[in-house]
Amino acid sequence: MIKPRNQHRLISGLSGQIYLWLAVLIFGASGAVTRKVTKIGASHFIDGRNPISLCNVLFVGNLCALIVMLFIYGKQWNKATLKQLSKKDWVSLTAVAILSGALAPGLIFQALALTGVNNVILVGRLEPPLALALSVWLLKERVSFGEFMGAIAAFVGVTLTILLQPPGETIMNTGGLQLGLGELLVAAGSVAIAISTIIGKKYLSQIPLGIYSIYRTALGTIIFFFLALGLYGNDHFVDVFSPFLWQWMFLYGGLIVVVGQSFWTIGLKSTTVSTAYLVGSFTPIAGIIAAYLILGEVPNMAHYLGGSLILLGMFLSQVSNRRRISHEVALSPVTSTPTEQKAEMGMGFKGI
């Protein structure tokens, strides 16, 4: 017979996995939903402006995310905890907030305006192999043969996805090659996230997850706001309080940000790192399916070829990572910044 304590742990783990899978489905649909609501805004211009612009969606979506995080992690922001943080901790937190809280989301949202959702999803898979390479180079981490081959396969898959794209309107000529500007923006965003992951691993191992998440989101939102004003003008967010925008942001923010982030957080508290890493790796697949169902985006040959190699790389990495993580921290729930980053590395674009 199963002991009551073990039975409770089993039920808790199963319910946690259900929450993780629901979050993955929601996060996977985020790119398609983002594109869909901006298309709706394009047919309801206000004085020649789209009230549901990508910048407005990102800004308001981050505000929604911040409210959720304050509700979940607010208790961690106390004097006793904050006094333990050194100047180096705050500098590292600020660097991560700039890279993964402002720069990367801004680049990815801009890419959504220039290229298909499938491209954003697949090219975004550049992040894990980059993070792995930087971990080996800068942190001297050891990687297994399976992780190495998985990273190579994923990198080749992303490269093929970029190079084999059919000609489009927003292209750049580089040494005879025609590269899509949207795909390059996603790649740049992936580099920013990979660097922030390395900073988190090296300097933020002792930072409570709540302080990390709230600070990154809050500072990232502020930096993105002023960066957009500097690039696009003082009237760029003039429609941010538009009733039409908020009508749809209640759907986007409520579903993608509030429900998705809440499910993911609940799931992380009752499952293990290896489980979260495995479930999160299915987010790109859910995203491609959502792009077809919501937007009618049919994968092209570049997606099939590149995506197949990316999936192969994910499989090889999963097998190796599951063994290593199971040995290291699989028996513990996700409670720290580096393990949170590890769990989210396979997810890609989450809508915020």
> Which range is least confidently modeled, 61-75, 110-124, 138-152, 164-178?
164-178
Please state, for a pLDDT cut of 90, what percent of the chain lies above it.
34
Q: What proportion of the chain, given as a percentage, has pLDDT over 70?
A: 83
Q: Does residue 352 form part of some domain?
A: no
Contact 24, 286 (CB under 8 A): yes
Q: Where are the alpha helices (DSSP H) in 29-78?
A: 30-42, 54-73
Does 4 fall in a domain? no
- pLDDT for 329 equals 47
Residue 76 half-sphere exposure, CB side, CA atoms within 13 Å?
17
Residue 7 lies in a domain: no
Place of tokens 């333990």: 84
Q: Is the pLDDT of residue 8 over 60?
A: no
Tokens of 223: 């930096």
User: Does 1 reside within a domain?
Assistant: no
Average pLDDT of 298-314? 91
pTM: 0.84
2: in domain: no
User: What's residue 343's pLDDT?
Assistant: 64
d(CA 91, CA 97): 10
- Please give the residue range of the domain that contains residue 218: 12-344
In a domain, 351, yes or no: no
pLDDT reading at 249 higher than 90: no
Secondary structure (3-state) at 170? coil
* Count of domains for the chain: 1
Ramachandran bin of 282, using left for φ above 0, alpha for ψ from -120 to 50, beta for the remaining angles: alpha
Q: Are 119 and 180 in contact (CB under 8 A)?
A: yes
Range in 2-11, 167-176, 261-270 with the lowest mean pLDDT: 2-11
pLDDT value at position 336?
A: 60
Under the banding of pLDDT at 50, 70 and 90, the label for residue 348 is low
Cβ contact 124:313 at 8 Å: no
**pLDDT digits over 33-52, tens only?**
999 999 999 998 988 899 99
For residues 228 and 5, the model is more confident at 228
**pLDDT value for 1:** 47
pLDDT of amino acid 10: 45
| Residue 6 domain flag | no
Which pLDDT does position 332 carry in this prediction?
53
